[in-house]
Structure 1
Amino acid sequence: IIFSALLSLSFIIGGKIDTRTRQFDAIYHSDILYFAVLTVVFFLVFLRLMDFLQNHTITLSSHTHISARKIWVGSAIFLFLCWLPCLILFYPGNISWDSLACIVRAMGRTRLTNQQPILYILLMRPFLMGASALGLGTNVGTASFLAVQSAATAAMAGYVVSWLHKKGFPAYVQIPVLAYFALNPIIAFYAVTMWKDVLFSTVLMVYTVNLIDLIQSNGERLKEPWFFVWFLIVNLFIAFLRNNGYYLIAVTLVVLAVLYRKIWKRILPAFLALLIIVPIVQGPVYDACNIGKSPFAESVAIPLQQIGRSVAENGPMTEEQKNFVAQIMPLEKMKKVYFPFTADKIKFDKQFNSDFLEKNKGEFFKVWLGMMRPNFRNYVKAYLMETLGYWHIGTSNWIATFGTIKGYGEEQLGMKHVSLTDIDTRPTSLSVEQLQKSIPILSGLASIGFLFWTVVFTIFMLFLQKKRRQTVAFLPLILLWGTLMAATPTYCEFRYMYAFALAFPLAVISVFPFARANMGKSSDAGSAI
């Protein structure tokens, strides 16, 4: 009933927000009735769904005729070949403004900053610098890197399929999962898109699988040297591939340390070392290497939006508050540029004084908190509109970029789309839009709100089935969502939640009961996954 109520609330509140008119409609007493009815309907639907799931046990095989390694290699090659046409059609790959910002840093054309994670830049650098040294140009370097990124993504997705095979899942589970990775156009396009989010999300998918293995073994796998080292390496990749990655691993490792405190002598020193080393590297070490920090404005997008809405709506402010905010941006200008669904209109305006904000972080929070009570309604509306797509199923936005973006100026370094075939790319690029808007049911795969609620449903199901420890496997995904709800710069960015799309098959499979061949139902989902 709690899940049904939360989902109903998301529909009622989300339905009040219109992204076209930029309006937040009033909430009426009748909405309470709609909420109650919708909650009851969802509750009845989910009861039937739970009955369906409980009556459809997945039988696991104890013996497999094909080795998991062969399945892994075969799946990886198959997926790479399925995605390769996207690289050929949109050669040298899908390049956005953020991609170009990474490229100029990887080629040493501008100072390194951790706004674009340093690890991703370092992974790009050999390809771009090598191509430049050989006189092959930026296009070749970019395409080479994206080919390797696509291969790495295919290897990790193929690993999930082989892992299911190793666990004894039947072909009617393995094949749909493989087909999901192969035929989902978003996954295909993202594999050849130069975004840090792609590798980060794919590694997070592997992390989810590792957590399931760990929980299944009741922590025993942490005693295996190779698994323990691998697990720590995956944690490091998550921490360094995106700036919110550290928060994900920090909370997850603390939870694991509590759950498996009986072996604390083995795991605690390594966990603590990892949690200490990451901020040291990203702090003093980066400073010593003259690597700039991510701008403070990037982490306070929501407070900026709340202040911006209060200013735009002529909300009450003291003279001291007005004077401070005016030094960040002139109030009349803030009124003009405030846009309810992204803080970028404020952050990237020429009159936005980022230097002043950097030097007055404490005062900024003081002013923000001081304005909260008299502007509470504006704060709530600004927050809900800025985070809309992350919790409302009916909200959509652009998903992917196709080909090489133009207009970056001299820093574009001669990059441009080169047609390697005479095939019209428009039908291919439209496949994402068709998935998003024209295909009933499957369109949910292009909705980050739907993907989020799917994972939440899985967590609720695991609790109801008394498999609470299994929920830890999905904790990093929920933490990822939480960091976006705290600091997202825009209302609906699919790539930020791409990890949910990759973990979707795992979430769906986890709600089913399992049984070994010639045995009864498993009492614990962990016996399978």
Structure 2
Amino acid sequence: MQYLHPPIKRNEITPLIVFSFFISLSVVLSNHIQITGNTYSGLATQNHITPYGLSDIGVLVAVFTVVLLCCLALYHITRKAITAKSAGDNKPLAAKPIAACTAIMFALHLPYLLTYYPGFVFNDSLSSIGQALGQLPCSNHFPVAYTALIGACIALAHTLGLSTTTGCALYSLMQTFVMCATYSLMIQWIMQRTCIARWWRAILVAVFGLAPYIATYSIALWKDPLFSAAIVVVTVLLFDFVSTSGKITHNSKAWIPMFAMCCIIIAFLRSNGLLIDAGVFAALLLCSAKRTTSLRRTPANAITAIPLAAIALNLLVTGPIYSAAGIVPAEKAEGYSIPLNQMARVVALDGDMSEADAAYMNELLPFNEYASVYTPTCTDLLKWNPRFNNAALDNDFLMHWISMGIENPIVYFESWELQTFGYWTINHPLVLLHNGNINGGVPQMLNSQAEANAYGITIKNYLGDTAERILSRANLSIPLGWVAWGITFLAITFFLQGRRRYIIVFVPCLMLVASLLIASPIWYWERYGAALQFLAPFFLALPLALPANPPANNI
């Protein structure tokens, strides 16, 4: 583009054209996703794909034109920011500002805990609490590591002569502190690495401290908040590792312990954490293979081994150790959500299949029940159906999935669309207006408190109904699709601008998105991808944190 200075080269325009095309295609696909039923239990007659027509070509061309022009303009702006000399430093992050910001945000989040005391208790939470109290058999369906954390807080409360409710509140306090410390670490990174105006700190602290979406997430008794915090911290740490050619591991005593701890948290708190750690390991391995002489003086190989060690530890603990302890492993169906729904859609819509495939599907679930059990935007009612045969998943599941996919590629693609569109759409109104991050978990205060009371948990609002109206639990947030596409665009820009060693910084988030696109159990839930939203300020500041002239053969 000659009107830009310097002009964008042809080899730069081509990737931007491809990127713009896929965003435009996502808009067209989203326009045909029709949701008229409940997104949890709605059947294929209610949630479906409407027919395509010639008008879609016109929409695709129009959207593509607008998106490409926007991408070219944003690429030019980002390119200038990347090539500008950074005014920041690469010293270890200052501890005092992090502590001060943590304290401020923690205080701002406390009213939410007092309003929804002892924190949001979900059906999922009660399963872990029941196991921690010894009232339910121990199972890794909800990670044992998460159950152990809640159990430790409850045990501490009981030791002090306090109630299970207080134990849950202690967990909420601990989690809120960790989340606020995570945001503070990221804010300090932005301030210190870019040296932007000081008033930006106040704005960022206000956003993370006052935003109801963020505050309510901090007191949600889920495994996801700590998992998201670990991804945020790992992302920040990876930048410092690359930008200092590994020297940060010598200059900061906290870097290696924090990195190791976060890799372990990622591996143990969600099943897709193994994929994220594997991506980080592969990226570090590639970086260490290209390291310079200066990097050889750093423990690069040891750093590379950390995410691999976290994976190995997870496989050891959740395999032989859990088995020896009598802990029930998570059901295989939990990892087969999208393939299961694809196969179920074929049966529910009377698609083509061989006799062997039909017999297998009947083995999984009686054939005549698929039409009333298959829900396109969530797989829970299928895999949790009392007549669903989990054991059949060990009987050539992959071969039957491939066989049915060859016969029904369009049906498979439509099934994937309906179960993942929340993570890639930029225009679907259901995503843009989604405010059910907390309410989607069915917290006990929305229903009868009887089940919570059975575990000795009493829900109480200490600040009254007015506080509950002001500190709402139903809040909009940045759509995950917007952030996912934005991060992808920034990664492409870094690649085209020769900052390829920094692509590792994007790996945790890109692997998180990838895991949702291949294994999400439901069409959209912010809690699964919240790390992307929290890291939005980091990625916006990232171009300003780069040194102007990177070494030619650095990591």
Q: What is the TM-score when the length of structure 2 is the normalising length?
A: 0.84
For 1:442, the equivalent position in structure 2 comes to none
**Counterparts of 2:358 and 2:275, CA distance in 1:** 34
Q: Following TM superposition, by how much is the alpha carbon of 1:323 offset from its aligned partner in structure 2, in angstroms?
A: 2.4
Which has the higher mean CA deviation after the structures are superposed, 498-507 or 361-370?
A: 361-370
Aligned to 2:102: 76
- Distance change (3 Å), C-alpha of 1:164 and 1:344: same
Structure 1 residue 372 corresponds to structure 2 residue 405: yes
- Distance of 1:385 and 1:297 partners within structure 2: 19
Please state if 1:136 is matched with 2:162: yes
What is the correspondence of 1:24-423 to structure 2 with a 5 Å cutoff? 24-53=49-78, 60=87, 68-170=94-196, 171-222=198-249, 226=253, 227-261=255-289, 262=291, 263=296, 266-267=302-303, 272-354=308-390, 356-357=391-392, 360-393=393-426, 394=428, 395-396=430-431, 397=434, 398-401=436-439, 404-407=445-448, 410=451, 412-423=454-465
| Corresponding position of 1:519 | none
Structure 1 counterpart of 2:344, one-letter code: G
After superposing the two structures, state which structure 1 stretch, 148-157 or 424-433, moved more: 424-433
The range that moved more, 205-214 or 157-166, is: 157-166
Paired position in structure 2 for 1:13 = 29
Secondary structure of 1:101's counterpart equals: helix
8 Å contact from structure 1 (residues 221, 228) kept in 2: no
Contact 1:458 1:508 survives alignment (8 Å)? no
Distance 1:419 1:408, change over 3 A: closer
Q: Distance in 2 between matches of 1:407 and 1:324?
A: 40
Partner of 1:441: none
Q: How many residues align?
A: 505
Provide, for residues 198-224 of structure 1, a one-character-per-residue CA deviation record: whole Å limited to 9, x for no partner: 000011100000001011012333456
Secondary structure of 2:517's match?
helix
Paired residue type of 2:279: V
Q: Which residue is equivalent to 1:518? A: none
SS of corresponding position for 1:424: helix
Change (3 A) 1:525 1:69: farther
C-alpha root-mean-square deviation of aligned residues, in Å? 2.7
Offset, 1:145: 1.1
Q: Distance in 1 between matches of 2:104 and 2:150?
A: 24
Pick closer, same or farther for the CA change 1:374–1:221 going to 2, 3 Å.
same
AA aligned to 1:103 is I
Cα displacement (A) at 1:496: 0.5
Cα gap change, 1:485 to 1:254, in 2 (>3 Å)? same
CA distance in 2, matches of 1:304, 1:208: 32
424 and 58 in structure 1: CA distance in 2 versus 1, 3 angstrom threshold: farther
Matched-pair contact (CA < 8 Å) for 2:266–2:273: yes
Change (3 A) 1:267 1:60: closer
Report the residue type matching 1:282 in the other structure.
T
Q: Which secondary structure state, in structure 1, belongs to the residue aligned with residue 464 of structure 2?
A: coil
- d(CA) in 1 for partners of 2:493 and 2:386? 49
CA distance in 2, matches of 1:303, 1:403: 32
Instruction: Report the Cα distance in structure 1 between the residues aligned to 2:65 and 2:204, rounded to whole angstroms.
Output: 32
Letter in 2 for 1:249: D
Instruction: Please report the TM-score for the alignment, with normalisation by the length of structure 1.
Output: 0.88
Equivalent pair of 2:48/2:418 in contact (CA under 8 Å): no
- Segment drifting more, 163-172 vs 241-250: 163-172
1:480 pairs with 2:496: no
Distance 1:111 1:525 in 2: 56
1:429: how far off? 5.4
Distance in 1, Cα, partners of 2:133 & 2:201? 41
8 A Cα contact 2:117 2:460, kept in partner: yes
Residues 132, 141 of structure 1: 8 Å contact kept: yes
- Aligned residues of 2:267 and 2:311 also touching (Cα < 8 A): no
Task: Output the amino acid matched with 1:377.
Answer: I
Mapped to 2, the partners of 1:427 and 1:207 lie a distance apart of: 36
1:464 aligned residue (496, 499, 502): 496
3-state SS, counterpart of residue 271 of structure 2: coil
